[in-house]
């Protein structure tokens, strides 16, 4: 660039783009009060029990809801990659061949096919979320960014939160903690609460069940705590994987050793709500045998955490 050339215009935060797959209004489980939860697409972890498998891939994806499918075959006819097979129960998509062009979606009259994930600017998402600002202010709620992994799109989240904070809207992220220190540095200054997942205490078990070690995650937990932003530790309870005594004690020890007072832990009992989504994505759910914990078992786990001096709540 010559010295006389005008400097390139700086991008406004409202123009920064992210990939969003859902904006859920009136959410009451993703932080305090009534909230709008923005679900981002893309996660560096692949937890075997993930209830949002559509959030894992960073790219938009076509999903098929076979209960709506009339088996007309129009989608298979227009697919330039021959990726669709019409079967007795509906369709299946060869994910290696599919380019997510969306041609099949546009010919599916009953709406059995849908592209999940769209590029939106921080300004567009903010305009959507601020519609419920009165509910946020009256309930102590706000905007939560979940995923996927919010810290995998740090510029977008920081920009969205900047707009929220300037408007007086509370901000929260729900994170696996698997992110770079730079991503944290971008997002934390605009964040008032971090819901921080601690899934497993054992490093190798963590790698086995989520695809990554928990080493960086635990370092980032310390970084978040040191930043002074409020933290709630969240533990998804997965039958036979982390709801066994030895693992629970490791997780409780991590929470108890965290230098935040009072330490709050939220327990999320296992549920099977997301299993149907695997079939919509032509994927296999790897833990079909798991069943939800019974109430006495959940209360026993709560007592175990409380025995470590932790304030513990069950989130259903
Ligand atoms: S176009 Fe839609 S309704 Fe027809 S076979 Fe394909 S998915 Fe089913
Ligand atoms: S999105 Fe495009 S490539 Fe993928 S199944 Fe549909 S038509 Fe075929």
Q: What is the DSSP string of 189-216?
A: GG-SEEEEE---SSHHHHHHHHSS-SHH
Task: Kindly indicate whether the ipTM for this predicted assembly is greater than 0.95, answering yes or no.
Answer: yes
* DSSP assignment of 145-185: EESS-GGGSHHHHHHHHHHHHHHT-EEEEEE---S-HHHHH
Q: Residue 195 has what pLDDT?
A: 97
Would you say the CB of residue 113 lies under 6 angstroms from ligand 2? no
* Longest Cα separation, the chain: 73
Cα 60 to averaged position of ligand 2 atoms, centre (Å): 12
- In this structure, the answer to whether residues 41 and 85 fall within a common structural domain is no
Question: Whose atoms come closest to the Cα of 70: which ligand?
Answer: 1
Using the 3D structure, point to which of 72, 89, 116 is the last residue of a domain: 116
The CATH number covering residue 107 comes to 3.30.70.20
Cα separation values, 26 from 73, 139, 309, Å: 38, 11, 32
| Integer Cα distance of 190 and 130 in angstroms | 16
Looking at the fold, whether 74 and 165 belong to one and the same domain comes out as no
The reported pLDDT for the residue numbered 217 is 96
Ligand 1, closest atom to CA 74? 1
Task: Name the domain count of the chain.
Answer: 2
298 lines ligand 1 (CB under 6 A): no
Going by alpha carbons, the residue nearest to atom 3 of ligand 1 is 69
Q: What is the domain extent for residue 198?
A: 13-57+126-314
Q: What is the pLDDT of residue 268?
A: 96
Q: Do both 132 and 242 map to the same domain?
A: yes
Q: Are residues 36 and 159 in the same domain?
A: yes
Indicate if 207 and 151 belong to the same structural domain.
yes
For residue 7, the model assigns a pLDDT of 67
Considering every ligand atom, which ligand is closest to the CA of 62? 2
pLDDT of the residue at 6 = 65
Do 157 and 178 sit in the same domain of this protein?
yes
Question: Ligand 2, atom 4: nearest CA belongs to which residue?
Answer: 98
User: What CATH number corresponds to the domain at position 139?
Assistant: 3.20.20.70
Shared domain check, 308 and 167: yes
Whether residue 246 sits in one domain with residue 149: yes
Question: Residue 258: its pLDDT value, please?
Answer: 82
Residue 132 confidence class, pLDDT cut points 50, 70, 90: very high
CB distance 198 to 235 below 8 Å: yes
What is the distance in A from the centroid of ligand 2 to the CA of 79? 5
CA-based nearest residue to 254, from 200, 184, 180: 200
- C-beta of residue 145 within 8 angstroms of C-beta of residue 38: yes
Instruction: Give the Å distance between the CA of 76 and the centre of ligand 1.
Output: 8
Going by pLDDT thresholds of 50, 70 and 90, the confidence category of residue 246 is very high
User: End-to-end CA distance of the chain, in Å?
Assistant: 57
Shortest-distance atom of ligand 2 to CA 99: 3
59 CA from centroid of ligand 1 (Å): 22
Predicted pLDDT of residue 260: 64
**Kind of pairing between the strands at 17-27 and 118-121:** antiparallel
Nearest CA to ligand 2 atom 7: 79
- Considering the domain architecture, whether residues 165 and 304 belong to the same structural domain is answered as yes
Please tell me the predicted confidence (pLDDT) of residue 108: 97
* Closest by CA position to 250, among listed 190, 203, 309: 203
86 lines ligand 1 (CB under 6 A): yes
């Amino acid at each position: 660039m010559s010295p006389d050339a005008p400097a390139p215009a700086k991008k406004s935060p409202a123009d920064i783009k992210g990939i969003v797959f859902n904006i859920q209004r009136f959410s009451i489980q993703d932080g305090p009060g009534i909230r709008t939860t923005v679900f981002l697409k893309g996660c560096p972890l692949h937890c075997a029990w993930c209830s949002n498998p559509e959030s894992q891939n960073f790219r938009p994806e076509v999903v098929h809801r076979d209960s709506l499918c009339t088996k007309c075959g129009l989608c298979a006819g227009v697919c330039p990659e021959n990726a669709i097979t019409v079967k007795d129960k509906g369709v299946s998509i060869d994910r290696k061949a599919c380019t997510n062009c969306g041609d099949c979606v546009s010919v599916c009259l009953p709406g059995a096919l849908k592209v999940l994930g769209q590029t939106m600017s921080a300004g567009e998402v903010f305009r959507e979320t601020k519609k419920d600002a009165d509910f946020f202010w009256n309930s102590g709620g706000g905007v939560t960014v979940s995923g996927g992994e919010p810290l995998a799109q740090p510029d977008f989240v920081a920009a969205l939160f900047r707009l929220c904070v300037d408007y007086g809207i509370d901000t929260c992220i729900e994170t696996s903690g698997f992110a770079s220190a730079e991503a944290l540095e971008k997002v934390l200054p605009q964040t008032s609460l971090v819901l921080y997942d601690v899934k497993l205490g054992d490093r190798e078990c963590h790698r086995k069940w989520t695809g990554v070690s928990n080493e960086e995650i635990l370092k980032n937990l310390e970084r978040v705590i040191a930043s002074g932003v409020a933290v709630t530790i969240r533990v998804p309870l997965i039958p036979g994987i982390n709801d066994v005594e030895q693992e629970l004690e490791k997780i409780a020890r991590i929470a108890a050793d965290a230098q935040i007072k009072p330490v709050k832990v939220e327990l999320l009992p296992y549920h099977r709500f997301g299993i149907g989504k695997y079939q919509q994505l032509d994927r296999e759910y790897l833990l079909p045998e798991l069943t939800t914990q019974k109430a006495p078992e959940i209360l026993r786990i709560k007592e175990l955490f409380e025995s470590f001096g932790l304030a513990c709540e069950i989130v259903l």
